A and B are shown apart, each in its own frame.
Chain A
Amino acid sequence: MVLSDMFAFSFMLRAFFAALLVGTLCSLLSFFVVLKRLSFLGAGISHTALGGIALGLVTGLNPVLTGTIFAVGTAMSTGYISRISKISEDTVVGIFYASGMAFGIALISTFKGFYPELFSLLFGNILAVTIPDLMLMGIVLTVILLFVVLFFKELLAICFDEEMAAAGGLPVKMLYMGLLAAMGLAVMVSIQLVGVVLVAALIVIPGATGHRLSVNYRGMLAVSLITGLVGSVSGLFLSYYYPIPPGASIVLILTVIFAFSVAVQPLLTKLRYAA
């Protein structure tokens, strides 16, 4: 098993860079998703995106573009509706989740045809990533990274106590909507890696692992980034050597890392109190 063999294939090299980009992007946002308790939103956005993807497929538009519009629209609408109507985000996501899927299924059933891209968008196909896809992922990562770096302390304060942040005069609604839009974008570019069905794991597990293993936000962010990168890259390697789809192997490795964090957390807590 030699890595250079793997990278002899240009599609594997592209897949490797896609895993690095998406792993970084998702684990960065996962930090905020877990702290703001938006885990279900990740699953909701991805499933709603199916409606947008289906719309793109049946109309001949770019399904990634239509899916992105649906994903970002869902994320921001969820925030807006839950605020103005005082309905919890979970409830709003639950409604969008099902209705987006239903819309997608209805479109595909009505406009019967052959949609080979649909399967790869449902279950992910990192090996089919193209250079333009990588460029799109790079642009999305850069924009989101810029947003997070510029407003990190404010986003952290909003995650901790939104009421206090609003009382201090911070533009809470704008930053929160920005975070939701970033989630929508991240989910959409990640769908190519692991698919609609599994993308929520990339948005949730790295941050959840960081939260288990660290009691300060710097450590949590570092563990989240390491988990996301290790999970994405090692999942890709695993799928190269064993007949497991990359999306599934990435999510399984992330799950193993999370299970490990749950197992060692009591020990870490004991060590911390002993120190």
Chain B
Amino acid sequence: MEEVVVSARNLCVTLSGRTVLEEVTFDVRSGEFTGIIGPNGAGKTTLLRAILGLVPIQQGEIVVMGTPSSNLRDARSRIGYMPQHQSFDRRFPLSAADVVATGLLSPRTLLRSIIGKKSSIAAALHAVGMEQYSDRSFQDLSGGEQQRILLARSLVRRPELLLLDEPSAGLDFPAQQSFIELLHKLQRKDDLTVILVSHDLVSVAAAADKLVCINRSMHIHGRPGAVLHSLRLDEAYRCQFELFRDAEERSSVGIE
């Protein structure tokens, strides 16, 4: 049985007096690709931030690779994180390699040079197929290319656990598909544990081994087919889903 990488138990998070997450419980096992789904304001981003120890937990606990999320310290170097694209300025004057290099910074690199880490940066860019863009200005890249550079940034420390928050938001459909395929390839190659937050039920259901559906509280988790067929999905989104199953037993979904 695979090792549990992330374990959330009865997790409750309150921000500015508002309950954002309530009684959320789930496990993510090593090498699993888990999709976190739910409507707007469901607390998906807060859940990722709680895993990273960036928000205080009122009740319950999250253990990440054997360490409580409130005290990750050294375990942080084993976690890659790609925040929502709104969190940075796309006109920031950095080259693609500079952006990737920011992913190397940690308390251990304080007062130390990271010039000797060029090979790690090159390897991360190579992994996402962007090695030829190394010296290109980040602001000159397309949205899809920028997302790949940010993925390289989250991979540069060769993490075991990768957390992604709406990584394909704002991309057109082919770019979204290409990004998810790349993610899948990387996950298989390096046996990464991936937790992906997404609005896009279709692509996340096609890629994930397991879905966790939340809307403040836990609604359902399990294999994508089971989750998408469950009436609890309708409860979480407060609408009715019409499901189609394609030839590969992968589920696609429409809204009635």
Contact = CB atoms under 8 A, between A and B. Distances in A.
A86 B16 contact: yes
A159 B139 CA distance: 15
Interface residues on B, range: 20 to 34
Interface residues on A, range: 20 to 34
Contacts of B72: 169
B73 A169 contact: yes
B89 A154 contact: no
A35 interface: yes
B153 interface: yes
B106 interface: yes
A150 interface: yes
Contacts of A238: none
Nearest to B114: A153
Contacts of A169: 72-73, 76-77, 106-107
A211 B93 CA distance: 7
A197 interface: no
Nearest to B137: A215
Q: Report which residue of A37, A154, A159, A171 has the largest number of chain B beta carbons within 10 angstroms of its beta carbon.
A: A154
B94 A217 contact: yes
Contact of B94 (A86, A168, A171, A216): A216
Contact of B93 (A164, A168, A214): A214
Interface string A164-206: 1111111100000000000000000000000000000000000
A270 B120 CA distance: 33
B179 interface: no
Nearest to A164: B83
Contact of B88 (A86, A161, A167): A161
A272 to B, nearest CB: 8
B142 interface: no
A5 interface: no
Contact of A165 (B73, B77, B102, B111): B102
B54 A167 contact: yes
Given A153-B114, A216-B94, A163 B83 contact: yes
B81 interface: yes
Contact of B76 (A35, A168, A171, A217): A168
Contact of A216 (B93, B102, B103): B93
A35 B79 contact: no
Given A86-B16, A160-B88, A216-B95, A154 B83 contact: no
A157 B114 CA distance: 13
Nearest to A35: B92
A154 B79 CA distance: 19
A126 interface: no
A266 interface: no
A215 B93 CA distance: 5
B235 interface: no
B3 interface: no
A145 interface: no
Contact of B102 (A161, A171, A219, A220): A161
Contacts of A35: 89, 92-93
A136 B18 CA distance: 48
Q: Report which residue of B52, B89, B92, B114 has the largest number of chain A beta carbons within 10 angstroms of its beta carbon.
A: B92
21 contacts: A35-B93, A86-B16, A150-B111, A153-B102, A153-B114, A154-B105, A154-B110, A159-B92, A160-B94, A160-B99, A161-B87, A162-B87, A163-B83, A167-B83, A168-B81, A168-B106, A169-B72, A169-B77, A170-B107, A171-B110, A216-B98
Interface of B: 16, 52, 54, 72-73, 76-77, 79, 81, 83, 87-89, 92-95, 98-99, 101-103, 105-107, 109-111, 114, 137, 139-140, 153
Closest 3 CB pairs of A and B: A161-B88, A215-B137, A167-B81
Given A171-B107, A215-B137, 8 more contacts: A35-B93, A161-B83, A164-B87, A167-B76, A170-B110, A171-B110, A217-B98, A219-B93
